[in-house]
Amino acid sequence: MIWSSVRRKSAYAPVQWVAALVGLLFLGSGVSKFYQMLFTLTQTPMTSQITVTLVLAIVPIILGFLTLRIAFVSGGTLTVKTRVYFFILGLVALFAWAGLLVGPALAVISSILPSRTQTPPK
């Protein structure tokens, strides 16, 4: 993100930085659950309940990719639709235990953050 900002000669909006952090928190919690599942499977027999754990591990990863995609496709300007997406992603992540508790809270906060603090340098 930093390197692409240097190449583009424009700074990212604060909401994009917050959304990137949220997306990485979601991805991290999903990967952590997936790793814990694989570690447990090395010591216990595989049963049909693995599907529940797979869903609980895949949902945060999907939420992370969606958050990162929405953050960087928006270009730092938030429309009402983008703000609603961030709010919904925060609520879904809260119930999916994605991103600890910080990730969903920051997703909801990013839905009310200003788009840009100043005009980007030319």
pLDDT by residue (tens digit) across 40-79? Answer: 999 999 898 899 999 999 999 999 999 999 988 887 788 8
Q: What residues does each domain of the chain span?
A: 12-110
pLDDT at 30 over 90: yes
Distance in angstroms (rounded) separating the CA atoms of residues 91 and 59: 13
Separation between Cα atoms, residue 120 and residue 7, nearest integer Å: 14
- Could you tell me if 22 and 103 are in contact, meaning their C-beta atoms sit under 8 angstroms apart? yes
**Contact residues for 24 (Cβ-Cβ < 8 A; gap 6+):** 64, 68
Q: What is the DSSP string of 48-78?
A: TTHHHHHHHHHHHHHHHHHHHHHHHHTTTPP
pLDDT tens per residue, range 76-106: 788 899 999 999 999 999 999 999 999 999 9
Closest CA to 22 of 114, 115, 108, 106: 106
CA dist., res. 75 & res. 115, Å (int): 9
Q: Is the pTM of this model over 0.75?
A: yes
By the 8 A CB rule, do 83 and 9 touch? Answer: no
Q: Which two tokens stand for residue 120?
A: 């980007």
